[in-house]
Amino acid sequence: MINSMTGYGEAEGEINGASYAVEVKAVNNRYLKTIIKLPESAAFLEEDIERLLRSNLSRGTINYVLRLKEAPASVLFDIDESALAAVMEKLGRIKSSVDVNRSIDIGGLLNLPGIIRPALPDEETAEQMKAKVLEISQEAIEKLKEMRAAEGAALEADLDKHCSEMRQDIERIRARSAAVVQEYAEKLRKRVDVLLAQAELKLDEELLAREVAVYADRSDISEEIARLESHLEQFAQSCQGDGQAGRRLDFISQEMLREANTIASKSSDLEITRCVVDIKCRVDRIKEQVQNVE
């Protein structure tokens, strides 16, 4: 079964009084690209989350966001008390030296760089955070994969419809190609008969047969039809296989288009040309859909 590259998953969890929320969004990309956004207190988890995403997903642009929804102040920030004390001591000396009768606003001092900093967890808390965040991240990823699978099933149904219609076009081409050479021989004979009748000459049957044989060889599309049918079979097998089929399906669809172009160049029959146009339109739609396959 094939999977879509687009999807969304979310999950929440709580640890040590802090509530965490994870969102994972995926959109199309030829390769795998991860964009990870974490609060400063959880920045140390980036490498673990990167590995988790890559072990579960193979293609697409993956946007991962971890948010702190509810948390006590001790989890969000720390105050560098020694730095604050040093600033207040210096301000006190300045105040006494210039005899300024104003109070020091501690709230304003907290806005100075380096006074308030992100609260970094200790080793035990960090391990607890890691376990919980990876747990809810896996939960969000599983929801994302479920959505990808559901969209993939819809994609597969649409691709199968186009392939079935192409098989019908191929059968029409095969049936028509068998009659094209015979019609050419009859048309050529009539034209030659008219010309020879005017010149009062006799038709050379061997020369006519040779000309028909050359035309038949030049317009023979049996190999192209066989290869196109083989590509359709490989396409169906790739859709049913395990793993990521997007790149393989894209390559097969290009080969389908190549065979269709060859059939069009070798045949001058109007009905076959119309069928080839229909096939090429279907291949173009297949190529568009395949861009969404993981």
CA distance 216 to 222: 11
What CATH number is given to the structural domain containing 50? Answer: 3.30.230
Least-confidence region, from 35-44, 46-55, 131-140, 235-244 = 235-244
Helix (H, G, I), strand (E, B) or coil at 9: strand
Question: pLDDT > 70: what percent of the chain?
Answer: 67
Model confidence at 204, pLDDT cuts 50, 70, 90, reads: low
Residues 12 and 134 in one domain: yes
Residue 8 phi/psi, 5-degree rounding, is: -150, 140
The position carrying tokens 């192209």 is: 224
In a domain, 263, yes or no: yes
- Cα 242 to the chain's mean position, in Å? 16
Residues 24 and 159 in one domain: no
Residues 85 and 163 in one domain: no
For 227, the token pair is 């290869």
pLDDT at 64: 97
Predicted confidence (pLDDT) per residue in 100-119, tens digit: 566 666 666 556 565 555 66
Residues 167 and 209 in one domain: yes
In a domain, 26, yes or no: yes
Residues 23 and 157 in one domain: no
In a domain, 2, yes or no: no
Predicted confidence (pLDDT) per residue in 124-148, tens digit: 778 888 999 999 999 999 999 999 9
pLDDT at 73: 47
Residue 287 CA: distances (Å) to CA of 10, 29, 142, 204: 31, 15, 28, 51
45-57 burial, b at 16+ Cβ within 10 Å, e below that, comes to: beeebeebbeeeb
pLDDT at 82: 66
Residues 222 and 188 in one domain: yes
Model confidence at 43, pLDDT cuts 50, 70, 90, reads: confident
Q: How many residues comprise the chain?
A: 294
The position carrying tokens 């929320």 is: 21
For 19, the token pair is 């509530």
Highest mean pLDDT range out of 86-100, 177-191, 273-287? 273-287
Q: Which residue type, as a one-letter code, is found at position 103?
A: S
Q: Quick one: average pLDDT of 243-247?
A: 78
Cβ atoms of residues 26 and 150 within 8 Å: no
In a domain, 40, yes or no: yes
Strand blocks (E) in 137-185 = none
Could you tell me which residue, 267 or 218, shows the higher pLDDT? 267
Model confidence at 201, pLDDT cuts 50, 70, 90, reads: very low
Specify the pTM. 0.69
Question: Of the candidates 2, 17, 20, which has an alpha carbon nearest to the alpha carbon of residue 139?
Answer: 20
The position carrying tokens 């609060």 is: 39
CA distance 21 to 136: 8
Residues 282 and 167 in one domain: yes
pLDDT at 9: 95
Q: Is the pLDDT reported for residue 72 higher than 80?
A: no
- Give the DSSP per-residue string, 242-274: SS--HHHHHHHHHHHHHHHHHHHHH---HHHHH
In a domain, 117, yes or no: no
Residues 127 and 161 in one domain: no
Residues 87 and 32 in one domain: no
Determine which helix (DSSP H) or strand (DSSP E) holds 107, and give its type and residue range.
helix 106-109
Residues 99 and 175 in one domain: no
Least-confidence region, from 133-147, 209-223, 240-254 = 209-223
- Residue ranges making up the domain that contains 257: 153-290
In a domain, 93, yes or no: yes
**How many domains, the chain?**
3
CA distance 85 to 33: 46
* Dihedral sign for Cα atoms in the order 54, 136, 45, 110: positive
Residues 88 and 64 in one domain: no
Residues 17 and 144 in one domain: yes
In a domain, 116, yes or no: no
In a domain, 114, yes or no: no
The position carrying tokens 């191929």 is: 170
Angle at 9 between CA 3 and CA 14, to 5 degrees: 150
